[in-house]
Chain A
Amino acid sequence: MKRKKNGYYRIRAAVLKAFSFVFKAVMAVFFLFPFYWMVTTAFKTYGESILFPPTLWPETWTMDAFRDVGQRIDILYYLKNSVIVAVSVVVLQLFINIPAAYGFARYEFRGKRFFWALVMLAFMIPTQITFIPVYILFSKVRLLKTLWPQILPFAANAYGIFLMRQSFMQVPEELVEAARMDNAGEFTIMTRIVLPMSRSSILTAEMFSFISTWNSYFWPLVMTNSDKIRPVTLAMQRLQDANQGLEWPILMAANTLVVLPVLVLFLALSSQILKSLGYKGSK
């Protein structure tokens, strides 16, 4: 085995480290740049936005684009629709997924395996498969002009049930038995012992439901016939259609308004989110 002098390895390690650091910086820029570009474009004048080559830093800062967004569409109204839909889904899921997950986790009953297989099947069927029949269904019951088509189909979420069941099953049986010996009823056991111990799983599941509903585009596109009930993700399209020749600052301003809350929320919670995701991923 040939060994070089200590100094060689010292320099090699230092060079590699420096190189790696530079490349990491480049990558961070690559992944964050689109957001930077979105925000700076939103503050540019229309004239500056179509300059070629573009300016990396706006020469004149203007809020015009944001004002125009407000003039063209009632963005608050669409944001309100998004909030109503996302919150309703999350709340409904609490009342439907948690009991179901609890039933699967802690009871034995006839047909359990069959029902569980159905849940797993539902887990695998994407909305892109079911949308035609569901659309026909809602049109038959005349609910297409309401927000229900965006809410009801997601009230039961197979993924959420799966995740929470896993976590409910991890509560040790001894603990539940101890509670029974302390004369706790079934409901008390669920609300005072099992649910608090599974809090992080429930939070993760609910958070992802919220984000995916908030971000959804395909389903509301298919299920809505009128502007009144559209979420903000679809409203963006009207900015695009509303004029001939795209005005990018306006589109980016609208996007900034939609993206910013999520970005801020993430920066506040990022460590926690990454940890719970990593934990889930490793299983």
Chain B
Amino acid sequence: MSRMKKEERNENAEKKRGVSRFTPYALIGPAMALMAVFVFYPLADLVYLSFFDYNLIGKKKFAGLGNYKVLFFVKTDFWEALSNTAVYTGTVVVLSLLLAVLFAMWLERDSLVNRFLQKSMFTPYLISMVSCAYIWSWMYNDDSGILNAMLAMFGLPLSRWLNDSHIALFCVAAVAVWKSLGYYLIIVLASVRTIPPEILEAAELDNTSPVRKFFRITLPMISPQLFFLLITITISSFKVFDTIQVMTGGGPGNATDVLVTYIYRYAFEMNARVGYASAAGTVLLVILMILTFVYFRMLGRKVYYQ
């Protein structure tokens, strides 16, 4: 009721000030137009293309659900890419969250040393994924890489790192964690620091062990931010591309092939099977939509706050 009145009053006031009814539309117009062309139209077009056979040059040929059938039931490489993506995402999410929380507890106090470490950890976040990928490729190098040198120093058997199909995916995941951990740490730290200090002090006076203090007090109180991070990291891991492309190109074999490298390969390298790639893209879209939906549903329920 009062809200309606306020709006009415605003409108009247706006008329008096000579603000045209079209002013807001003029303000948001350019942005909305650009989004229409570069987000919404492509979104629709992607789904549309996924029902056609199309190679950029020839005519589109309607294929119905044919592309999806090939994707799921004929070829096995899509399943491989999908499961690689899932393993990669799981690894990155678990490691990032775990380490971010551990480091946040450890660096909770604002001291000079802690601030320095925090800065060191954040630095890789600003560097391009490609540069990180090159640097780590060099460190992972079989013949003269520093990591193998370290293994040798401790008398351990050497590893083939990126060329070992069992661990290549985890090696790439480690780079992603290394690069972004500093950023996640900042978010977790900021939310840890919003906990009233008296509550933690009260816990100390109650003779709470650090572990118990973490699980009973800190963790429940930072759970909304952790959940936000969980979704953010999941989504960004699902679209991993740069590191894989630079470090392994999807190999060895298909061991590190993920959804986006898969789509890219089919759209631009393998005779431009655009319709087929679009179908794979649509699957990625659906996955991201589900994740986003879950996020907002859970957020609506509020994980926890006073």
Binding site for B on A (CB under 8 A): 1, 20-21, 24, 27-28, 31-32, 34-35, 37-38, 41, 49-54, 95-97, 99-100, 102-104, 107-109, 112, 115, 118-119, 121-122, 124-126, 128-137, 139, 152-153, 155-156, 158, 161, 180, 185-186, 211, 214-218, 221-222, 233, 236-237, 248, 251-252, 255, 258-259, 262-263, 266, 270, 273-274, 277-279, 281-282
Contact = CB atoms under 8 A, between A and B. Distances in A.
Given A37-B146, A222-B264, A215 B129 contact: yes
A213 B277 CA distance: 25
Interface residues of B, number: 97
Nearest to A109: B24
Contacts of B250: none
Contact of A129 (B21, B26, B246, B288): B288
A1 B144 CA distance: 58
A18 to B, nearest CB: 12
A24 to B, nearest CB: 5
Contact of A214 (B128, B241, B277): B128
A248 B141 CA distance: 10
Contact of A222 (B31, B46, B191, B268): B268
Q: Name the residue in A52, A137, A262 with the highest tally of chain B Cβ atoms < 10 Å from its Cβ.
A: A52
B13 to A, nearest CB: 8
A132 B153 contact: no
A140 to B, nearest CB: 11
Interface string B256-269: 00001001100110
9 contacts: A27-B103, A41-B138, A115-B32, A129-B288, A153-B34, A186-B23, A259-B131, A262-B127, A263-B126
Given A279-B190, A282-B194, A130 B38 contact: yes
A128 B40 contact: no
Interface stretch (B67-75, B86-94, B112-120, B197-205): B112-120
A24 B114 contact: yes
- Give the one of B23, B42, B49, B145 with max A CB within 10 A: B42
Contacts of A279: 190
Nearest to B175: A34
B83 interface: no
B135 A130 contact: no
B146 A54 contact: yes
A133 B263 contact: no
B207 interface: yes
A121 B40 CA distance: 9
B225 interface: yes
Contact of A96 (B31, B128, B178): B31
Contact of A35 (B123, B141, B191, B289): B123
A278 B189 contact: yes
B159 to A, nearest CB: 14
A280 B84 CA distance: 32
B187 interface: yes
Given A1-B207, A34-B136, A37-B146, A108 B106 contact: no
